[in-house]
Amino acid sequence: MNNTKDKIDIRSLSLNALQEHFIRMDEKGFRAKQVYEWLWKKSCFSFNEMSNISKELRAKLDANFVINNVKINSSQVSADKTIKNSFILHDNHLIEGVLIPTPGRMTACVSSQVGCSLTCKFCATGYMERKRNLNPDEIYDQVVLIDQQARENYNQPLSNIVYMGMGEPLLNYANMMKSIERITSEDGLNMAAKRITVSTAGIAKMIKKLGDDQVKFNLALSLHAANDEKRNTIMPINEQNSLKALAEALKYYYAKTKNPVTYEYIIFDGVNDGIQDAMELAKFCKHLPCKVNIIEYNPIAFASYINAGEDKVEAFADYLTKQGINTHLRRSRGKDIDAACGQLAIKEKDKLAEV
């Protein structure tokens, strides 16, 4: 097997499946566990680097398997020290991921799809075509590479991961879940599930599935309006996943997991920035324990939305706080390099930097 396309993607195999392959190659099963540890615990991207494996076995691995690792295509550093990465996949697709350094934490924002099938009107990725889902290892690799960046640039390891990059994680459910399993497992990166947040535009049936699976990570819902008519305009997915359906799904999720939910709310000038909007949001918040992150809007070329004025933002947050709702104002990071919330979109297209 000399042609890469004929080789097996080794990280698509479970440990048991890998052991079966080793036995068929007349190798001892325990060697598979060694290789598995190199792949996941040590994040090794090359068979040649597996130093406790014989040269003969490494040659067999190279002949039969491939590691389709993600690589950094290009990076940009913001004035606020945020780093945006363009990652290149084995099939030459591009995705983006961001390192967000803030006092007390290092956060990786990772993508779950190449492009996005949703059409949220304020989000740059929503104007791209969805090419395909990312595999679990491709999500995992983003975390590994961004962690390396955090250590090299700021002398700190990653502390948090948010699935808030390109794509809708709940539309890549199985691969998203497998990636978190690898990231949190003792034979993987061994990160705490409570340090991971998965953000969704709101797919009711998949939110219920999160509840059935009794997930340990955090859930964030991109809400942006607690009024169906407004939310339909901002986020067309609401037409099939109404606020009533989402409320029912979230209550089911909370009953199963006891995990509070975070609502993300971008305030657009003249769209959802009034006290009536705050009243509707406060009412929606009564369904279950939650907190609200009010997020600064980051303009994109495709949309005409602009950020609400500071006075309106503060009045909105003040109203929610007086209603007893845990409310936080989130300032955007990396705006100057299009790395902030809602700005991720591949601009290079076919113009790839050398890797």
- What does the alpha-carbon distance between residue 45 and residue 47 come to, in Å, rounded to a whole number? 7
Structure tokens at 150: 């955090």
CATH level 3 topology of 69-349? TIM Barrel (3.20.20)
Mean pLDDT, range 236-261, rounded to an integer: 96
Structure tokens at 192: 């705490």
| Cβ atoms of 85 and 74 closer than 8 Å | yes
* Residue 319 reports pLDDT greater than 60: yes
The hierarchical CATH code for the domain 6-64 is: 1.10.150.530
Instruction: Work out the end-to-end distance of the chain between its first and last CA atoms, rounded to an integer number of angstroms.
Output: 25
User: How does pLDDT run across 160-197, given as a tens digit for each residue?
Assistant: 999 999 999 999 999 999 999 999 999 999 999 999 99
Q: What is the reported pTM? A: 0.90
List, as residue ranges, the binding site for [4Fe-4S] cluster. 116, 120, 123
Mean pLDDT, range 234-255, rounded to an integer: 95
pLDDT of residue 130: 81
Window from 23-32, 188-197, 218-227, 298-307 with minimum mean pLDDT: 298-307
pLDDT of residue 349: 44
Fold identical between 6-64 and 69-349?
no
Helix (H) or strand (E) holding 140: helix 136-154
Q: Which residues are catalytic?
A: 96, 341
List, as residue ranges, the binding site. 116, 120, 123, 167-168, 199, 222-224, 298
CA 313 to chain centre: 27
In the chain, what are the domain boundaries?
6-64, 69-349
Mean pLDDT, range 92-118, rounded to an integer: 92
| Cβ atoms of 79 and 333 closer than 8 Å | no
pLDDT of residue 302: 67
List, as residue ranges, the binding site for S-adenosyl-L-methionine. 167-168, 199, 222-224, 298
Q: How many residues does the chain have?
A: 355
